[in-house]
Structure 1
Amino acid sequence: MKQILYRLFEHQYLGREEARRILQNIASGQYNESQIASLITVFLMRSISVEELAGFRDALLEMRIPVDLSGYHPIDIVGTGGDGKNTFNISTAACFTVAGAGYNVVKHGNYGATSVSGASNVMEQHGVKFTDNIGQLQQSMDECHIAYLHAPLFNPALKAVASVRKNLGVRSFFNMLGPLVNPVIPAYQLLGVYNLPLLRLYNYTYQESGTRFAVVHSLDGFDEISLTADFKVAMPEKEKLYTPEMLGFDRCTEADLDGGSTPKKAAQIFDKVLHNTATKAQKDCVIVNAAFAIQVICPDKQIDECIDEARISLESGRTLTIFNRFLALNA
């Protein structure tokens, strides 16, 4: 690792196979925490390359505990995290909204590393017991249209670096990898990223995969469609810049989307969204992310139609019904 770090400090890049091998070594405990922290720091100081990202992803997918839910043709909605915005659990709420609209979802999540509440935090606040039991995951899909996969159960390498990431408290290339290594390898993904270079990186990475995808980025730095600014959406066939007003939404502020100072507070906001008692800004943000996820699944649908589906799911109570059913099975 010392030689690798010297090379990286001299602005050299890793090849795909070399990156794969390094991550395998991390997972097997061959490097100490200081070395891992130094490696993470390198990729904060310069952009990760397509080859490096692909190599790291290869390693994690090879080491994953695979889960075959391919028959459900599910979608995952996930942000990289690391945007420093500390929003409430928008992607997770959007997942249940999409499930409430009748589409299959496999949510891959973890504890927050750079924010107060990650998806696993909000699930845990509701008493959800994480599982890798395929029968239970299939039952959750059958009865709720959604299953939750807690990343460390399926990706041992992520577990190996959890304490380093938490202690550093800054975004890392593991934030970038999280959305890419859902062990199900879902048919569809809506990915949120915190800057435009990463949007392009994901776009290149996914072009050669069989996954139908959209990568989204709000131009003021959110790793989701925040409605606080104009936002870009990259799909296989197009890249388009939207304003909130184009889609009939009001702009909101960063403070409108704050997730609070504790996981409990973030869970309370999440509950208000699902109970349709949240603020307009909070609900709109969930609806627009759910809508673009629906359009990934159904590219022939106009975005206005997808927004209507998401809104009906949330405001009719279908989202809450699905969530309560999910809790009855998984908590």
Structure 2
Amino acid sequence: MKQKVAIVGSGNIGTDLMIKILKSSEMLEMGVMVGIDPESDGLRLAAERGVAVTHEGLEGLRRLPDYGAIRIVFDATSAGAHLDHAPMLRADGKQVIDLTPAAVGPYVVPVCNIDEHMAAPNMNMVTCGGQATVPIVYAVRRAVDRLIYAEIVASVSSRSAGPGTRANIDEFTQTTGQAIETVGGAERGKAIIILNPAEPPMIMRDSVFTLSQGGDEGAIRASIEEMVAAVQTYVPGYRLKQEVQFERIGEDEPAMIPGIGRVAGLKTSVFLEVEGAADHFAAYAGNLDIMTSAAKAVAERWAQTHAREI
């Protein structure tokens, strides 16, 4: 039996997630699409597909007669809005999957730590850059003795960045950097996002740089390739752009890591691209695709785990 879900936020991310659920989910059923603009494309598309809609935000959702049947609520609004939404949804007993950088609940990256947080009432999906790069950081960490530093650069088409994304740039860098450490396992993490205005729009590309000690290049490369294959099970367009690169940082010219000091080790450089499934937006919007695909995968695992409670 499918579990009913609501999506709060009818922008780019919420709309793409809705299309994915309608198109391919065997565990989830769209219950309500929630927005605040009655003229939004997301609400219009939902109504055209027979999904119940409200343009009165979370309060409008809570007033609907079928609200009690909703078990999972995806929040695809903004970090600030989610801080208001989270306590209300928790009080209502809803399982919350947060697609904003608010980080109220634990960071969840499906291929890294999904099973650790199945009991958490609020699961945070980090950011699109985090979903693309934290798995690589995690893959390096499991193959080395010490992962001193990890830095990621996420470059996305400005066309794929809606108002919610643009309003959350600071939260994006902070949340992604924290996830690099808490989920990826780096002692220090840093995140950078670039909104590229190029025309025609460019595909999402991500660069990951790590500095580690212990472990050998072959083991690191194998761990990364295994992780890429794991992410591809729910994001088929996720791939290495080129071979993994290595560089030895010697004691004679150590790298300066803020908060740690001068250290030697092995620098690993990984270059990725993410092609979207084009379920709703163009294939260049891989940043939307990896975020919504990861959220859908988490919700489906939760639904499967809690199926006996229905």
The higher radius of gyration belongs to: 2
Q: Larger relative CO (CA 8 A, sep 6+): 1 or 2?
A: 1
Q: Structures share a fold, TM > 0.5?
A: no
| Higher percent of residues as strand | 2
So what's the TM-score if we normalise by structure 1?
0.37
